[in-house]
Amino acid sequence: MRRLGRRQLFALGGGAVLGAGLTGVVPAADPAASSGANDEIDNPKRGGQQVVWSVATERPAAALTFDDGPHHVLTPRVLAVLDRYDVPASFFMMGHCADTHPELVAEVVAAGHEVGNHSWRHLNLADASASETRTEIEVGARKIEAAAGVPVTMFRPPRGRLNEAALRVLAPLRHDVVLWSVTRGALDWRSPAKVAANVVSKTGPGDIVDLHDGIGRWTFDPRTPRAAELLDRRLVELEALPRIIEGIREKGLDLVRVSDLLSSPPALKNQAR
């Protein structure tokens, strides 16, 4: 198995499971390799998408990404900060949220940001059936595209985990699987300064930073204590965002969209760090 930077792509339970926080750019597994009589995927031989944690490039740039939105409280505030600093970003949206708040999806696109698919209902795809996986990916993409008015070409699995069925669904769609190489840090951190310092210290050329403008599965139970706790965590990230942007720029890095990183010269892009 090819080495993927600091950690590895690994297999569990007979299917491919991708662990969050890995680095590198590799071709996705050939979906035809494990096809059988019970396959639910049409035309599984049209692979070619990439699984991306970071991009090995000498270009002084990194990407900010936001998951789980759009959210009526968080997304407008994230957009305001990005606009203030003139920073483009990539938003990996839940299809349900895009369907609920199409006006926010339109605002994201109008501001020059790009959108990706973060599934329909934020199920953990490592535990999902093949039919559930297909629904999460295809319905999510359809709802996001309908609200955005632009094609979706990237997918980020909830929790950074997916199964073999997901790769097989994504192959004919030719969607890149985009994970991340930098996060906020420990989930219990409540200090925006600490979150910002962690992100800035770990971000270098080609890194993909994972932040949030939504609350994931708790979108469906927004009045619960767990949803309130998660919203508070997102608000810490939001408060840290200006310091993150300023700190990354002080390191001499531009902030670009994921697609901009992926457009780096192939000789650099396809090398693991």
Residue 103 predicted with pLDDT over 90: yes
3-state secondary structure string, 18-60?
CCCCCCCEEECCCCCCCCCCCCCCCCCCCCCCEEECCCCCCCC
List of domains in the chain = 10-25+47-269 (3.20.20.370)
The pLDDT-based confidence of 108 (bands split at 50, 70, 90) is very high
Confidence (pLDDT) at 49? 73
Per the CB < 8 A criterion, the answer to whether 7 and 19 are in contact is yes
Residues facing 121 on adjacent strands? none
- Find which of 25-29, 173-177, 254-258 is predicted with most confidence, using mean pLDDT: 254-258
Q: Which of 55-59, 106-110, 132-136 has the lowest mean pLDDT?
A: 55-59
CA distance 255 to 180: 15
Residue 208 predicted with pLDDT over 90: yes
As annotated, the active-site residues are: 67, 212
Q: What's the mean pLDDT when you consider all of the chain?
A: 83
* DSSP H stretches of helix in 216-262: 225-250, 258-262
The pLDDT-based confidence of 162 (bands split at 50, 70, 90) is confident
Per the CB < 8 A criterion, the answer to whether 108 and 115 are in contact is yes
The pLDDT-based confidence of 54 (bands split at 50, 70, 90) is very high
The pTM of the full predicted model, rounded to 2 decimals, is 0.82
**Residues 59-96 pLDDT 10s:** 899 999 999 999 999 999 999 999 999 999 999 999 99
Residue 118 predicted with pLDDT over 50: yes
The pLDDT-based confidence of 187 (bands split at 50, 70, 90) is confident
**Residues 13-45 pLDDT 10s:** 233 344 433 334 444 433 333 333 333 333 333
Confidence (pLDDT) at 17? 41
